Amino acid sequence: MTERVLIIGAGFGGLTCATKLAKKGNVDVTIVDRHPYQLFAPLLYQVATGGLPEDDIAYPVRAAIPGVDFVRGDVVKVSLDAKNIRLEDGRVLYFDQLVFAVGSEGTTFGVPGVAENALQMKNIREARAIKNQLLQTYEDVEMGAKPKEALRVVVVGGGPTGVEITGAVSELQRSMLREFPHIANEASVTLVEAGPRLLLSFHEKSSAHAKTELEQLGAVVKIDSAVDRMYPTDVHLKSGEVLPAGTIIWAAGVAAPKQWSILGETDRANRLKVSDTLQIDDNVWVLGDMAHVVDQGGNPLPMVASVAMQQGRYVAASIEKQLRGEKIEPFKYKDKGQMATIGRRRAVVELPNGMRLHGTTAWLSWLGLHVFYLAGGRNRVSVIADWFWNYVAWGIGPRRTVID
Amino acid sequence: MTERVLIIGAGFGGLTCATKLAKKGNVDVTIVDRHPYQLFAPLLYQVATGGLPEDDIAYPVRAAIPGVDFVRGDVVKVSLDAKNIRLEDGRVLYFDQLVFAVGSEGTTFGVPGVAENALQMKNIREARAIKNQLLQTYEDVEMGAKPKEALRVVVVGGGPTGVEITGAVSELQRSMLREFPHIANEASVTLVEAGPRLLLSFHEKSSAHAKTELEQLGAVVKIDSAVDRMYPTDVHLKSGEVLPAGTIIWAAGVAAPKQWSILGETDRANRLKVSDTLQIDDNVWVLGDMAHVVDQGGNPLPMVASVAMQQGRYVAASIEKQLRGEKIEPFKYKDKGQMATIGRRRAVVELPNGMRLHGTTAWLSWLGLHVFYLAGGRNRVSVIADWFWNYVAWGIGPRRTVID
């Protein structure tokens, strides 16, 4: 009987693994996911700020990879002994090889008030909620239903996600000056980071660039500022300072889903500690944001798409080798550099050779890479059209609205 | 004091009127609408079938016309004597000239079961509901949560809207064969029309073309078939025939909002009977779908965008003339022809000179005209990108998904 490979998660890691296995054609590949689409998560912040329609970052996954079956469902139980998984609706799927690639979700790190008062940005529904709140607040203030202070936005977390959403909110606020001339100058955005600088995983010079460019866009950046607790309209820092906010966006941390910690030892982000071949059992592979893997220096690999994709290719190749009875070499991460965009023609990019870019050059590299990796041709065309328009029409016309 | 012109409704008629008045610059123009965007209603059916994202047909109206103020609100009362209107939240706006252009809404004509069981398609929320139901039904049937019969769609109403949505559903169902190979061949779409032919306002030959082309796409067309009543999974015809349906779409009629009938005599579609200068009072103008106006042959003008736009321009010019003390000539409708699209490279077009087109030529005219009239540059670019992709990638890849 043909080897059955079951992949849980249709993200960057799971889909890359499936594509590579399907090309060989000698195993049965099934992907399970609770959504019928691949989410292009690195662009969620653009949906959250009205730059792109949701459809542009959700690529239908059914029939997307010839030869790969798709099952939509929520996995509630994994039985490594019985070699099966159970879905929420009771269906049971059997496997010979299991690839675990469910990604990560937002985490509050136990800070009081975050769950109740802050918006997170890990899926389309959450990004839509941020967009609706940002735009609706202008409507409400204009109509007198909310005070002008409601236009203040606080973003918590100075990693790439926090930097990107802060820059995009800043640009959104500037563009709103035309549509709401009487109130829009009351809007502000403050980025709060607990550590000593933004983009801690980047070089200090890139961190400094990011801070300067955000400030040029009009954002306030507060480093060494840990959040103590939050309320509906206030963020309280450990220093005692209180930041009033109509919208609070939490971009301070992600973690693997807690429910899979039962499968083995985990780190503080619930990531499963895996062997150097990304396994937790002979026929069970874990990859992407779920897997705790360290680089040569002993640091855990970042939870980003390029790591997941490399691991997806590695696991596909390793399954093939195992089938042929060959020895499996340990996974080696190839550093692809890192990047964060700050705004239009503002970004920081670090290449693996140590080269650092910022400004327009960096922004264009960011743009090209993201367009290149967008899953579907249709989405690529739409995104290019939207970005092109945002770029050439900057400041000419209104471009987003509250659709209810 | 400058003359205050208050326009209720940011549709084709209201915005055309506002744009023309603003160009002269000698009156104060304010537009009131419950939504902060102009809806490009002729393309709602594309949103309902996943061809376009919602953002593409909703153009932000604030700051869209230089010199025109926008007030978001729901008008609940109009006092012609006191020359003011009241909004739902209590605000009162005064006017010297009132332009009434609130458009139309779906009507069930009292057919039992329509309100409870059929989906209508007059706004974005309704189009989104149709899209979600069409796509979610495939997911539900695939998972065994619904029987295959749920994939049957019945559309009621053989006017342009009914023909367009039937063609688009048919194409959607064909494209789903790749994504759901085990179930998608159970899908069907039936168009039901009470009259003797489709597109009653078109020439008989165009009606015949539309029927043939829909049938070529796989749709079933039933003429002379009035709906008697409907239930959640059945449409009962007056003939006694019962059509099972998982999704029922009601495209059989629109009417002006009933609440404004208090302002004067109305026809059976609640349209206000206006003078030949589109007035119901010296300083109160009514235009677009709200106004009952007859052509030279005594037939009421159709409720379409081109009529509303011509009337918007006419009312703007008439207000200017009134201000200058000039005589106002009666409104004269210039026939611009009519068109309905059936599918990719399938449409019928009738030009005012009596020329009739169908097939690819007609479809390209339809495409060009709609792109031309899309309100904003950004939307135009996005729509072209999406359509281009739909056209060149036809059958190559999946292109829509359920986003929840």
Q: How many domains does chain B have?
A: 2
User: Do both A86 and A173 map to the same domain?
Assistant: no
User: Do both B191 and B266 map to the same domain?
Assistant: no
For A88, the domain range is 4-34+73-106+254-323
Instruction: Establish if A56 belongs to a structural domain.
Output: no
In whole angstroms, how large is the CA radius of gyration of chain B? 22
According to the model, what pLDDT value does residue B66 have? 86
Find the CB nearest B377 among A143, A179, A397: A397
According to the model, what pLDDT value does residue B390 have? 67
Find the CB nearest B36 among A35, A62, A402: A402
Minimum Cα–Cα distance from A56: chain B residue = B53
Show the tokens assigned to B163.
């023909």
The alpha-carbon gap from B98 to the nearest alpha carbon of chain A, in Å, equals 22
CB-based contact (8 Å) between B30 and chain A? no
Residue at a domain's end among A292, A323, A354:
A323
| C-alpha to C-alpha distances, A256 to A249, A330, A402, B24, B373, nearest whole angstrom | 20, 23, 33, 61, 48
Q: Of the ranges A151-155, B113-117, B198-202, B336-340, which one carries the lowest mean pLDDT score?
A: B336-340
User: Do both B28 and B80 map to the same domain?
Assistant: yes
Find the mean pLDDT for residues B372-394: 69
pLDDT in tens, B76-95: 999 999 999 999 999 999 99
Minimum Cα–Cα distance from B392: chain A residue = A378
CB-based contact (8 Å) between B60 and chain A? yes
Minimum Cα–Cα distance from A57: chain B residue = B403
With CA atoms as reference, report the closest residue to B182 among B143, B212, B152. B143
Q: Are strands B75-79 and B284-286 parallel, antiparallel or unpaired?
A: unpaired
Instruction: Establish if A80 belongs to a structural domain.
Output: yes
pLDDT in tens, B33-88: 999 999 999 999 999 998 888 888 888 888 788 889 999 999 999 999 999 999 99
User: Do both A245 and A309 map to the same domain?
Assistant: no
Contact call for residues A227 and A156 (beta carbons, < 8 A): yes
Query: Which residues sit opposite A28 in a β-bridge?
Result: A4
User: Do both A264 and A312 map to the same domain?
Assistant: yes
Strand, coil or helix: A225: coil
User: Do both A142 and A278 map to the same domain?
Assistant: no
Instruction: Establish if A67 belongs to a structural domain.
Output: no
Q: Do B73 and A397 touch (CB under 8 A)?
A: no
Please say if the pLDDT value at position B388 is more than 80: no
Q: Do A376 and B382 touch (CB under 8 A)?
A: no
For residue B72, the chain A residues in CB contact (below 8 A) are 139, 142-143
Question: Beta strands of A169-278 (E only): which ranges?
Answer: 188-192, 220-222, 227-231, 234-237, 242-244, 247-250, 254-255, 272-273
CATH code of the domain in which B311 resides: 3.50.50.60
For residue B390, the chain A residues in CB contact (below 8 A) are 378
Q: Of the ranges A277-286, B95-104, B306-315, B376-385, which one carries the lowest mean pLDDT score?
A: B376-385
Minimum Cα–Cα distance from A391: chain B residue = B378
Q: Which of A70, A177, A389 to mutate to test the interface with B (most CBs of B within 10 A)?
A: A389
Instruction: Establish if B304 belongs to a structural domain.
Output: yes
The alpha-carbon gap from A274 to the nearest alpha carbon of chain B, in Å, equals 33
According to the model, what pLDDT value does residue A86 have? 97
Instruction: Establish if B66 belongs to a structural domain.
Output: no
Please say if the pLDDT value at position B398 is more than 50: no
What's the CA gap between A150 and A147, in Å, rounded? 6
Please say if the pLDDT value at position B237 is more than 80: yes
The alpha-carbon gap from B286 to the nearest alpha carbon of chain A, in Å, equals 27
- For residue B58, give the H/E element and its range: strand B58-60
User: Do both A9 and A98 map to the same domain?
Assistant: yes
Confidence of residue B101 (pLDDT cuts 50, 70, 90): very high
Please say if the pLDDT value at position B159 is more than 60: yes
Q: Considering chain B, what is the average pLDDT of its residues?
A: 92
User: Do both A293 and A358 map to the same domain?
Assistant: no
pLDDT in tens, A315-350: 999 999 999 999 999 999 998 889 999 988 899 999
pLDDT in tens, A359-369: 888 888 888 88
* Residues in chain A, pLDDT under 50: 395-398
Instruction: Establish if B397 belongs to a structural domain.
Output: no
CATH code of the domain in which B217 resides: 3.50.50.100
User: Do both A388 and A350 map to the same domain?
Assistant: yes
Instruction: Establish if A271 belongs to a structural domain.
Output: yes
The alpha-carbon gap from A29 to the nearest alpha carbon of chain B, in Å, equals 16
What's the CA gap between A262 and A384, in Å, rounded? 43
Residue at a domain's end among B323, B350, B370:
B323
Instruction: Establish if A51 belongs to a structural domain.
Output: no
Instruction: Say what percent of chain B tops pLDDT 70.
Output: 96
Q: Which of residues 130-189 of A touch B (CB under 8 A)?
A: 139, 142-143, 145, 178-180
User: Do both A225 and A355 map to the same domain?
Assistant: yes
| Ordered DSSP codes for A62-119 | TTTSTTEEEEE--EEEEETTTTEEEETTS-EEE-SEEEE----EE--TT-TTHHHH-B
ipTM of the complex: 0.85
User: Do both B301 and B374 map to the same domain?
Assistant: no
User: Do both A211 and A168 map to the same domain?
Assistant: yes
CB-based contact (8 Å) between B67 and chain A? no
Classify each residue of A313-324 as buried b or exposed e, where b means 16 or more C-beta atoms within 10 Å of its C-beta.
bbbbbbbbebee
Residue at a domain's end among A298, A323, A348:
A323
How long, in residues, is chain B? 404
For residue B182, the chain A residues in CB contact (below 8 A) are none
